Amino acid sequence: MSTKNTNLPRISKRQLSLRNGQDHQEIWVSYQNKVYDVTNSRLWKNGKHYEHWAGQDLTKELEDAPHGIHVFDKFSCVGLLENDEISS
């Protein structure tokens, strides 16, 4: 899926964390600063996919997954995860 659209909204880690399948109906995960809506995936029912929880950045966790990044091709990118770095 193409995510080159610079008009995508910025999503804070707090906003992402609330889309965990418990606090809101939406179920979102982040990978490489892109936020994906996995709400309709049967594999993310109730915000859990095997040992992974929704509402967080899964970039590091994907290294151990049996699938590659292509898995995100079937989901809509709903925004870009905001960077937490504080500039001096």
pLDDT at residue 2 tops 50: no
- pLDDT band per the 50, 70, 90 thresholds, residue 71: confident
Both structure tokens of 67: 């699938």
Q: What is the mean pLDDT of residues 16-35?
A: 93
pLDDT of residue 6: 66
Token look-up 């080159």 returns: 4
pLDDT tens digits along 72-85: 899 999 999 997 65
Both structure tokens of 7: 């008009």
Q: For residues 30 and 44, give the distance between their C-alpha atoms in angstroms, rounded to a whole number.
A: 13
Q: The whole model's pTM is what?
A: 0.82
pLDDT at residue 24 tops 50: yes
CA–CA distances in Å: residue 41 to residues 28, 62, 87: 11, 17, 37
Which CATH number is associated with domain 10-81?
3.10.120.10
